[in-house]
Amino acid sequence: MKIGFIGDIVGKPGRLIIKRHLKRLREEHFLDLVIANSENASHGFGLTAKNCEELLGYGIDVMTGGNHSFDKKEIFELFETHPVIRPMNYPLSAPGKGIYFADVNGIKVAVLNLMGHYTMPMVDNPFTMISGVVASLKAEGITHIVLDMHAEASSEKNALLHIVGEEVSAILGTHTHIGTDDLQVIGGCCYVTDVGLTGCRDGVIGMDKAVPLKRFLSGLGGHHNIPNECQAIFQMVVFEMNEQGRCIGAEKIKIYDDAPKVVTSAWMD
């Protein structure tokens, strides 16, 4: 089984570069399932119903979230009707769920969404929660488990590898929008600290650079914008799992605008 995971989709440029490339990549890499973090897909903040349908039409099967999951209130209904989840360690009273079960050729794949603590909204402890969740899934016979860890601190994502890496198929880091160069398969788990954004690459973490630079230079903020036209990047991790749910190979795919894809193989332990 082969799965593709796309990093944070940021606004219209991110959606458009997915439109240009994803269906072809699904065929070239024989992808059975595509997961994407979509909490920034609608002008950088949240996900609308229109953009949700758009991304599903481009070939995405499941969408995860993070600290911007609730920015668009229409997301509440999407949680009930579409394959959209939010971090599971939000309070129980929050709308939505943190897990989605996908059927891939008769095999149940659990897609989990978790959020870190550092600089994030108030959520339950992700580290004490995740072990119990994974144990429950394994008790049900579910061995194919993919986890999106949405966190600012690289240490939190790396720690998660040592906590549940031997029990889950993949831990894919999101949130910082900056891809890291540590893709690896260790102990049968695919791990990367951050997949990186899919969207504008010539601004600041996918946004127009004017407001971030103003803030850094003067201390004054403003409304973040995403340009309609920019130099874009598509970033996706592709990994393969065996029948036992262990990862047996992974690679990082990057496409700059419409140039040929750049493929980097994971380090294998």
Select which of 29, 68, 150, 224 is catalytic. Answer: 68
Cβ-based neighbour number of residue 109 at 10 Å = 25
* CA-angle at 156, arms to 154 and 162, nearest 5°: 110
Those residues with Cβ within 8 angstroms of residue 172's Cβ, 6 or more apart along the chain or in another chain: 5, 7, 146, 147, 148, 149, 190, 191, 192, 195, 237
Q: Is residue 68 annotated as a catalytic residue, yes or no?
A: yes
How many angstroms separate the CA atoms of 188 and 199, rounded? 30
**First-to-last CA distance in the chain?**
20
How many angstroms separate the CA atoms of 182 and 219, rounded? 33
Interaxial angle between packed helices 154-164 and 126-139, expressed in degrees from 0 to 180 and rounded to the nearest 10: 30
Q: How far is CA 248 from CA 90, 187, 191, 229, 242, in A?
A: 32, 9, 12, 38, 7
Alpha-carbon dihedral angle through residues 94, 98, 104, 106, given to the nearest 10 degrees: -80
Those residues with Cβ within 8 angstroms of residue 106's Cβ, 6 or more apart along the chain or in another chain: none
Q: What does residue 51 show for φ and ψ, rounded to 5 degrees?
A: -70, -30
Those residues with Cβ within 8 angstroms of residue 186's Cβ, 6 or more apart along the chain or in another chain: 161, 165, 269
Alpha-carbon dihedral angle through residues 127, 171, 106, 77, given to the nearest 10 degrees: 70
Catalytic positions, please? 68
